[in-house]
Amino acid sequence: RVDQLQIHSIDGLKGHKSQRLAHLTLGYITMAYVWNQGDKDVREVLPKNIAVPYCELSEKLGLPPILVYADCVLANWKKKDPSGPMTYENMDVLFWFPGGDCCKGFFLVSLLVEIAAASAIKVIPDLFKAVKNEDQNALQKALRYIASSLKQARKEFEKMHKYVDPNTFYNVLRIYLSGWKNSSKLPKGLKYEGFSDTPREYAGGSAAQSSIFQCFDVLLGIQQKSGEESAARFLQEMRKYMPPAHREFLLSLESGPSVREFVLSKGDIELQADYNECVKAMVSLRNYHLEIVSKYIVRPSCQ
């Protein structure tokens, strides 16, 4: 059916929302076409009727022509009752892969984690203002709000166990999220017919493409330890898969005042405790993510 589709112009996509929805749609079609029936009969060439509008739209949006986290998590949802709350029970995904409710669970729980953590973004101006004015009380209030939001995100993450089956995720859904960079199935990458003569390599969707967690790394001055340069390089690489506005936001935070240096300079035990609570909440969230990776990828791969 993909081979029979007509080439559609992207000129009719007016507005950011419709363009992002089209990027999500073309991303789903592309992943399903390339990986076909679960990585059997893998396609090395994306036909021009999909490749041309997908690449043109991707350039317009500043995103790569592959399904990214900003597509399948941030843009792939709707409310069942438009006037109701953004809860799992009142939400659904727009597009599905094979795997049934596992697909819905994986994307919606990831979104709920994002929503919980993102609530802390609104206090960032207060945080910077407090550092600039050397207002410890305002800074502590902002830090406590951030720590609370990150702890709520960790709590939302626990729903993954309820809604996502490890074997279904590993053996079915995971395959359709795979990319064509360092891929044994597509060692040269994917050729986008009608747009590029040489195959291109892109990484698959990953939580590392989430801007919210890199946001708090930057804000709190959290850096990779020496000897972990590859992890730092990987996180920088993943920024290329974020919407341009998200990348610019991270750069703007990097140019802001250092919260960590301010806290250290004051030598105030209570202030340091509030800062450390934010760092602990980030560590807890990251460690929990590692547990999820172990349960849903590492252990099933050994069976």
91-92 vs 78-79, strand pairing mode: antiparallel
Q: Does 8 appear as a known binding residue?
A: no
Structure-token pair, residue 196? 């590029």
Burial class (CB in 10 A: 0-12, 13-18, 19+), 236: exposed
Structure-token pair, residue 11? 């000129």
Query: Cα separations (Å) of 79 from 21, 89, 100?
Result: 15, 9, 18
Structure-token pair, residue 94? 């727009």
Decide if 72 contacts 103 (C-beta within 8 A): no
Structure-token pair, residue 60? 């317009």
91-92 vs 191-192, strand pairing mode: unpaired
- In angstroms, the CA 60 to CA 9 distance is 13
Structure-token pair, residue 198? 């040489």
Helix (H) or strand (E) holding 214: helix 211-220
Which amino acid type is present at position 126?
Answer: D
Structure-token pair, residue 58? 């991707």
DSSP 263-274: HHHHT-HHHHHH
For residue 235, what is the DSSP state? Answer: H
Q: Which residues are annotated as a binding site?
A: 289
Q: Which residues are annotated as a binding site for heme b?
A: 289
